């Protein structure tokens, strides 16, 4: 699938609307937002849906903060087009995360026309995602980790007798020097989360080492294409110095797909 572009749920809806139109004109195929805070994510999706014809994705809404019934109500009351929406849900509830995501995914299928996205970090959640989701989403992961998990998804889907779901991954990118501080700040946040810290340690790298950086398009593009080899749907997850339209368009333009 064509490269997508993703932003944070704290971006103002007005900015998200203008950005989605710009992203579409740059040749991207989809527009994504992370799931926290959920209300912000829904506002971004609503704004983007009205401003562009792109496919939309949210990855992922935390079921510990918003119930699946509330998720569906938000999608429908805001008029977010279900057939354009990749609806991601996740949970870190202990115990019960696997069962919670499974139940939510079944409700999405029975009550909406959305496609189900499941985030995966550990092997059990990855296996379950392969068995029930339309798309498995990885985030803050290096290429080697995505490749290994891709194999697990293929094997689990085959064991379940179903088609392999789409493999999507956020490819985090930032322009230097302007995004340097934001990259350090966001990297520290993820490095403090145990399940992600394990991934970084296993690969002998820091969280910030998974972010593609450069001063211009030429610096970024080769690194992006290297990551995309193991991803069906790559989503450029923009990290910018601020969340203004100018900064986000600058990065989206630098990371735009080739149209030649």
Q: Which domains, and CATH codes, for the chain?
A: 4-254 (3.20.20.30)
Rounded alpha-carbon distances, angstroms, from residue 8 to 61, 155, 255: 12, 32, 17
In this prediction, residue 258 carries a pLDDT of 85
Bridge partners, 61 (sequence order): 89
* Mean pLDDT value across residues 116-126: 91
DSSP, res 33 = E
- Are 105 and 132 in contact by the 8 Å Cβ rule? The answer is yes
DSSP-derived letter for residue 210 is: G
Cα torsion 137, 140, 145, 148 to 10°: value is 0
Summarised one tens digit per residue, pLDDT across range 179-188 is 999 999 999 9
pLDDT in tens, 72-84: 999 999 999 999 9
Which pair of tokens denotes residue 51?
Answer: 């401003």
More confident residue, 1 or 8: 8
User: 118-145 burial, b if ≥16 CB within 10 A, otherwise e?
Assistant: bbbbeeebbbbbbbbbbbbbbbbbbbeb
Cα–Cα distances in angstroms (integers) from residue 10 to residues 39, 63, 166, 215, in the given order:
9, 18, 27, 25
Q: Assign 260 a pLDDT band (cuts: 50, 70, 90).
A: low
pTM: 0.95
Contact 210, 140 (CB under 8 A): yes
Tens digits of residue pLDDT in 28-40: 999 999 999 999 9
Q: Are 26 and 49 in contact (CB under 8 A)?
A: no
Q: Name 4's bridge partners.
A: 30, 235
Q: How far apart are alpha carbons 125 and 119 in whole angstroms?
A: 8
What percentage of the chain has pLDDT greater than the value 90?
A: 88
197-240 pLDDT per residue, tens: 888 898 899 999 999 999 999 999 999 999 999 999 999 999 99
């Amino acid at each position: 699938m064509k490269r997508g572009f993703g932003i944070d749920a704290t971006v103002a809806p007005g900015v998200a609307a203008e950005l989605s139109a710009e992203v579409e004109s740059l040749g991207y195929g989809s527009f994504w937002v992370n799931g926290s805070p959920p209300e912000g994510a829904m506002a971004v999706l609503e704004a983007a849906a009205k401003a562009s014809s792109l496919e939309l994705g949210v990855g992922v809404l935390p079921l510990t903060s918003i119930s699946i019934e509330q998720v569906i109500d938000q999608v429908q009351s805001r008029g977010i087009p279900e057939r354009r929406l990749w609806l991601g849900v996740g949970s870190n509830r202990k115990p019960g995360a696997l069962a919670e995501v499974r139940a939510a995914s079944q409700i999405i299928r029975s009550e909406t026309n959305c496609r189900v996205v499941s985030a995966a970090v550990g092997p059990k959640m990855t296996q379950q995602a392969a068995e029930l989701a339309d798309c498995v989403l990885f985030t803050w992961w290096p290429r080697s980790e995505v490749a290994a998990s891709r194999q697990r998804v293929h094997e689990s889907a085959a064991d379940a007798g179903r088609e392999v779901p789409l493999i999507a991954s956020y490819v985090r990118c930032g322009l230097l020097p302007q995004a340097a501080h934001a990259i350090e700040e966001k990297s520290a946040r993820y490095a403090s989360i145990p399940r992600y810290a394990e991934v970084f340690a296993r690969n002998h790298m820091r969280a910030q080492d998974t972010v593609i950086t450069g001063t211009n398009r030429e610096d970024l593009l080769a690194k992006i294409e290297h990551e995309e080899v193991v991803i069906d749907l790559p989503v450029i997850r923009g990290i910018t110095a601020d969340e203004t339209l100018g900064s986000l368009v600058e990065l989206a333009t630098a990371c735009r797909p080739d149209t030649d």
